[in-house]
Amino acid sequence: MAVKVVTIPDLGTVHLYKRRGVRSLRLTIAHDGAIKVSMPYWLPYAAGAEFARSKRAWIQTKQVVTQPLVHGTRIGKSHHLSFIAERGRTTMATRITTTGEIRIYHPHTVQSSHQSVQDAAVKASVRALKKQAQRLLPGRLRFLAGQHGFQYGTVKIKRMTSRWGSCTDQKDIVLNCYLMQLPWHLIDYVLLHELLHTRIMAHGQPFWSEMEAFVPNIQAVRKEIKAYRPILQTS
């Protein structure tokens, strides 16, 4: 697979993917707002960019609108942002302290709302969420598994843009670092969901009937979690 990243006015960054076996142009927008165009190998990248331009109106209705990250923004369960303008600084730098502060150092001539500063803040915030998830989620998963008699293989923490977690046929579980932005009862729901996949892989009636035994108000919880997306929350 070959990829090219282009910037298109009024759209921003667009990822153009040339994939073998693809016969036509296909546009998708990830949960984090990333614009992706899949295209045949033989088609020039310019055609993919033009295809994205032709879909501008549709893309703008689907993109996630987020507020800028600001000083003091809470990130997940235990971190918060600090924007620090420094004289003489020419580049961006970030640091996550042991006290839960995510420090974004930027030139004093550049506002914290500038895209370059925001990009640095987003990357540092995701790193902080991963740290939180690695510290808290494996233990919680282990507790729930012991409480309900589940057995699983490995557990990994990743940043995912389309799902909260996954479970393989080998009972290995992957959890999304963005889970740290959910209320704990929804986090537990996702963990139990993946644990149950170690017994039942398909989302059929047997799966949901079994889930209801662990989460009595399953319908309300499933409805509630739909209000969240696996993206960096800015409010």
The string of pLDDT tens digits covering residues 158-198 is 998 779 999 999 999 999 999 999 999 999 999 999 999 99
Alpha carbon 57 to chain centroid, angstroms: 24
Q: Kindly state the tokens that stand for 215.
A: 């989460």
Lowest average pLDDT, out of 64-68, 132-136, 179-183, 211-215, goes to 64-68
Percentage above 70 pLDDT, the chain: 96
pLDDT at 235 (0 to 100) = 57
Alpha carbon 71 to chain centroid, angstroms: 21
pLDDT at 144 (0 to 100) = 98
Predicted structure pTM score:
0.75
All structural domains of the chain: 2-62 (no CATH), 74-129 (no CATH), 133-225 (3.30.2010.10)
Asked if pLDDT for residue 65 goes beyond 60, the answer is no
Q: Which of 172, 157, 155 is nearest to 127 (CA)?
A: 157
Distance CA 83, CA 202 (A): 46
Distance CA 162, CA 130 (A): 17
Mean pLDDT for all residues in the chain: 92
Distance CA 199, CA 12 (A): 43
Q: What is the CA radius of gyration of the chain?
A: 21
Percentage above 90 pLDDT, the chain: 76
For residue 78, what are the CA distances in angstroms to 122, 132, 177?
16, 7, 13
